[in-house]
């Protein structure tokens, strides 16, 4: 019995580290797979395959479905925000030319938005330390983005809007899930979320005209997206949100940009300039200050 308890304890401690590593690969997979398919079509296939995998898992395990209709609605809303909105924004931005590291840096501002949102919702004032963190985070982001303006298509009004849409979607989805979604089975919850995302995204694929290139790279990217990112990463995020406060969970995301930047440098040769390093450090420090100084309400497991 003690051995099982010890193993569970080790896994619970490792969950945040595993989550950061898996979540960081999402930006890499987008860069790796999108040369061979339009972004929304790729996501629709990913949703369908992920739903199929979860349904098999549910059938074999007998996982229970949410008993309350209200939970189905709440899960559907989080699916629209955290899958359709967030993934759609990220993948469209990367397809349009934005680098994986920069997209990760922009979305990495989520903890800042979460801290401000929670503070305002709870009627708490933002401290001077939090304002310092906000200023540092935005300064770091602008330092990276400013040098890229007018250079190719990486930073344009369209790519920046898509990345910011992803940022707002994941922030709103995280807060909504923490506040309204009760403890449900992670497998059935994921199916409901993915179904909602599929229903929203599918009609939008009619706007895409690019054909899919069914090669090894595309299949590999799709397999990783389904088996690791959706079944693994999304499930871990759901479990972490159920176990901890939204602020504590989203604080993990400020570790994603530097991890993604290193992966993108190693795999795609994306440059890591002095400005990129300084901007990333400033953003990480700024977000860390906001998170650590936040006095928002803490949720219990």
Q: What are phi and psi of 66, to 5 degrees?
A: -55, 135
| d(C-alpha 51, C-alpha 48), whole Å | 5
Scan for tokens 């629209």, then name that residue. Answer: 80
Domain range for 170 is 16-293
Sorting pLDDT into bands at 50, 70 and 90, what band is 24? confident
The residue among 64 and 11 whose pLDDT is bigger is: 64
100-114 confidence digits (pLDDT tens): 778 887 887 777 777
Segment 202-228 shows an average pLDDT of 94
Q: Where does the chain have alpha helices with state H?
A: 2-33, 39-61, 69-79, 86-95, 100-107, 110-121, 128-146, 157-180, 186-204, 216-224, 235-243, 246-250, 256-268, 274-293
| 77 located within any domain | yes
Partners of residue 155 on adjacent β-strands: 149
Instruction: Report the SS3 class of residue 193.
Output: helix
| d(C-alpha 68, C-alpha 29), whole Å | 36
Model pTM?
A: 0.78
| 286 located within any domain | yes
| 64 located within any domain | yes
| 207 located within any domain | yes
Q: Please give the structure tokens belonging to residue 126.
A: 């933002």
Distance of CA 69 to the CA centre of its chain: 26
265-296 confidence digits (pLDDT tens): 887 777 777 877 888 788 778 777 776 665 44
Q: Collect all residues with Cβ–Cβ distance below 8 Å to 21 and sequence separation of at least 6.
A: 259
Segment 197-223 shows an average pLDDT of 95
| 2 located within any domain | no
User: How many structural domains are present in the chain?
Assistant: 1
Look at residue 264 in the predicted model and tell me its pLDDT. Answer: 79
**74: exposed, middle or buried (Cβ count in 10 Å: 0-12, 13-18, 19+):** buried
């Amino acid at each position: 019995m003690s051995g099982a308890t010890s193993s569970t304890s080790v896994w619970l401690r490792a969950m945040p580290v595993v989550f950061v590593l898996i979540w960081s690969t999402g930006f890499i997979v987008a860069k790796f797979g999108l040369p061979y398919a339009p972004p929304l079509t790729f996501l629709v296939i990913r949703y369908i395959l992920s739903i199929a995998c979860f349904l098999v898992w549910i059938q074999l395990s007998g996982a229970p479905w949410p008993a309350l209709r209200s939970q189905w609605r709440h899960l559907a809303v989080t699916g629209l925000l955290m899958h359709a909105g967030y993934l759609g924004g990220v993948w469209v931005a990367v397809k349009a030319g934005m680098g994986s590291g920069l997209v990760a840096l922009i979305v990495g501002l989520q903890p800042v938005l979460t801290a401000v949102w929670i503070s305002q919702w709870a009627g708490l004032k933002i401290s001077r330390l939090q304002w310092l963190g906000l200023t540092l985070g935005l300064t770091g982001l602008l330092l990276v983005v400013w040098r890229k303006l007018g250079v190719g298509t990486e930073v344009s009004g369209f790519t920046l809007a898509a990345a910011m849409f992803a940022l707002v979607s994941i922030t709103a989805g995280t807060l909504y899930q923490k506040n309204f979604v009760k403890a449900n089975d992670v497998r059935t919850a994921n199916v409901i979320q993915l179904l909602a995302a599929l229903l929203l995204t599918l009609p939008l694929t009619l706007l895409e005209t690019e054909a899919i290139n069914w090669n090894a790279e595309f299949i590999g990217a799709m397999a990783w997206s389904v088996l690791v990112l959706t079944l693994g990463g999304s499930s871990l995020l759901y479990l972490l949100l159920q176990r901890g406060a939204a602020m504590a969970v989203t604080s993990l995301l400020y570790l994603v940009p530097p991890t993604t930047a290193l992966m993108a440098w190693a795999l795609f040769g994306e440059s890591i300039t002095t400005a990129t390093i300084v901007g990333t450090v400033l953003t990480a420090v700024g977000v860390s200050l906001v998170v650590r100084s936040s006095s928002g309400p803490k949720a219990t497991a």
